[in-house]
Amino acid sequence: MTAPPPVPGTGPDGLSASAGPPGPPGPRTGHHTRFDAYVDRYATRTRGMTASEIRALFSVASRPEVVSLAGGMPSLSGLPLDAVAATVRDLVATRGATALQYGSGQGEPGLRQQICDVMAIEGVDGHPDDVVVTVGSQQGLDLVTRIFCDPGDVVVCEAPSYVGALGVFRAYECEVVHVEMDGQGLIPEALRQALARLAEIGRRVKFCYTVPTYHNPAGVTLTAARRAEVLAICADYDVLVIEDNPYGLLGFAGEPPRPLRADEGGRVVYLGSFSKTFAPGLRVGWVLAPHAVREKLVLAQESSTLCPPAFSQAVVSAYLADHDWRGQVKQFCELYRERRDAMLEALTEQLPTGARWTRPDGGFYVWLTLPAGLDAKAMLPRAVTARVAYVPGTAFYADGFGSRCLRLSYCHPTPERIREGVRRLAAVVERERELRETFGAGAGPPHLETGYESPTPDLT
């Protein structure tokens, strides 16, 4: 047997560079040195897998002199670490042989019961059999998309939408259609129009992905009346709803909003997480799904990881059982409310006319729209030079919109640092505005500025 004749190895980008690092993998490509020697081997889906704007920021924003209003890291300073340490020690000493062993692909039954107890606080009546534990709710999103979406399927999302969800949809080669929001969340009539248009052109909508409560990044909450409308519209068009609810218990006033899943069990797939109510480093989230869907999710989980980490699950389970976790969540809420207040006050005091922003009732984020003509992405290097970081709005759109907007997080820095960060940001915005007034509208690059009205419940 002899090898087949070598095939000329030009990648899908049609380029083959004449110089680059050594080491293409084998004789066939030896005469074609490329920057990425594997470029002609990757799956088509990798074309949608690109570094997010958040990712590139992390290294810059982590410098201590920069006030990062970019990341969504929860504040863990309030956690009773000594008490958690004792819980975890006892867990390993008394039940280590189980907690360190392989577990079930669906997740531990005891934890799944506790998860149902957690969801019951918000009015969701779920059964432990219908819960699948995931590696954070990000993996829940990955598995849900894996079982529902073929390449080219349409997913309907809010405008803007969670950057991690957009990454998943790109990786599964979905087409994202954004639907406009305002200060009361997703606009039902805009959803209906989008679904009607997609139906008219024969496009298959696999689901509507939504963060109805304390939206990331928009900082708004879908009103109760609109929740009923959104469910009715999705029923009319027979579209599933993926309800992502990591912040539901982190509200600043009154009872938590009632999830969509509380009123519709057959159409809504619910994603939950302990990353914001306990600790993200454990990566414990979950999916509550109709029973048949749950079976597919378990198979997907087994294929993806065999089973989610048994040890993380045991830690969460012991924490929920042994600690006043609801008291701890209340403490988190007070902490985040104080920080939200600091941010909103500073924005009101510092930001120039023409800027507007949302006023979140919970969660981690404020969505800021810059004065007309400014570009948040173009401004970012100057902001970082001025020692403040944020995430440019374009990261939260699949279609290039959002250039005038940015996301500010108040979850991690102290109120004092938040005020300092907003002061720095305001100075940068002011300079940008002056530049623009001096040099005119032609100073910046052209960008997509219309198409969605940014969610802004209160103009300042």
Q: How far is the CB of 236 from its own copies (least distance, A)?
A: 4
Query: Quick one: how far is CA 429 from the chain centroid?
Result: 26
Please compute, for residue 342, the number of CA atoms within 13 A of its CA located in the half-sphere on the CB side.
24
Q: Does 111 bind its own copies (CB under 8 A)?
A: no
Buried b (16+ CB within 10 A) or exposed e, 260-286: bbbebbebbbbbbbbbbbbbbebbbbb
Q: Does 24 bind its own copies (CB under 8 A)?
A: yes
Is the CB of residue 370 less than 8 Å from the CB of residue 429? yes
Contacting its own copies (CB under 8 A), which of 184, 229, 237, 427?
237
What number of chain residues touch its own copies (CB under 8 A)? Answer: 114
Q: How far is the CB of 66 from its own copies (least distance, A)?
A: 18
Using CB under 8 A as the criterion, what x/- string covers residues 310-349 for binding its own copies?
A: xxx-xx----------------------------------
Contacting its own copies (CB under 8 A), which of 14, 19, 44, 446?
44
The Cα 321–Cα 76 span in angstroms is 19
What pairs with residue 176 in β-bridges?
155
Of 77 and 450, nearer to its own copies (C-beta) is 77
Q: How far is the CB of 34 from its own copies (least distance, A)?
A: 9
Q: Does 106 bind its own copies (CB under 8 A)?
A: no
Using CB under 8 A as the criterion, what x/- string covers residues 287-306 for binding its own copies?
A: ---xxxx--x--xx-xxxxx
Query: Which 391-410 positions form the footprint of its own copies (CB under 8 A)?
Result: none
Q: How far is the CB of 404 from its own copies (least distance, A)?
A: 26
The Cα 49–Cα 68 span in angstroms is 25
Of 196 and 372, nearer to its own copies (C-beta) is 196
Q: Does 129 bind its own copies (CB under 8 A)?
A: no
360 cis-preceded (ω within 30 degrees of 0)? no
Q: Could you give the angle at which helices 376-385 and 53-61 cross, rounded to 10 degrees?
A: 10
The Cα 233–Cα 230 span in angstroms is 5
Contacting its own copies (CB under 8 A), which of 179, 230, 240, 383?
240
Q: Does 25 bind its own copies (CB under 8 A)?
A: yes
Of 43 and 253, nearer to its own copies (C-beta) is 43
Q: Does 167 bind its own copies (CB under 8 A)?
A: yes
Q: State the Cα angle at 251 between 62 and 227, rounded to 5°.
A: 115
Contacting its own copies (CB under 8 A), which of 123, 183, 256, 265?
265
Of 320 and 374, nearer to its own copies (C-beta) is 320
Q: How far is the CB of 121 from its own copies (least distance, A)?
A: 22
Instruction: List the one residue out of 266, 264, 416, 431 whose CA is nearest residue 341.
Output: 416
Segment near its own copies (CB under 8 A); pick from 144-152, 248-256, 424-432, 437-445: 144-152
Ordered alpha helix ranges (H), 205-354? 224-236, 291-305, 310-322, 325-350
Query: Which 45-104 positions form the footprint of its own copies (CB under 8 A)?
Result: 45-46, 49-52, 55, 58, 73-74, 76-77, 79, 81-82, 84-86, 88-93, 96-104
Segment near its own copies (CB under 8 A); pick from 163-171, 242-250, 255-263, 333-341: 163-171
The four Cα atoms 376, 381, 386, 392 give a dihedral, to 10 degrees, of 30
Instruction: List the one residue out of 219, 286, 228, 234 whose CA is nearest residue 258.
Output: 228
Contacts of 433 (CB under 8 A, 6+ apart): 352, 354, 371, 373, 374
Query: Which 174-203 positions form the footprint of its own copies (CB under 8 A)?
Result: 189, 192-193, 196, 199-200
Contacts of 346 (CB under 8 A, 6+ apart): 418, 419, 422, 423
Of 309 and 393, nearer to its own copies (C-beta) is 309
Q: How far is the CB of 297 from its own copies (least distance, A)?
A: 10
Q: Does 10 bind its own copies (CB under 8 A)?
A: no
Q: How far is the CB of 135 from its own copies (least distance, A)?
A: 5
Of 101 and 460, nearer to its own copies (C-beta) is 101
The Cα 29–Cα 34 span in angstroms is 9
Q: What are phi and psi of 338, to 5 degrees?
A: -60, -40
Segment near its own copies (CB under 8 A); pick from 3-11, 215-223, 243-251, 360-368: 3-11
What amino acid is encoded at 344 in this protein? Answer: L
What pairs with residue 133 in β-bridges?
286
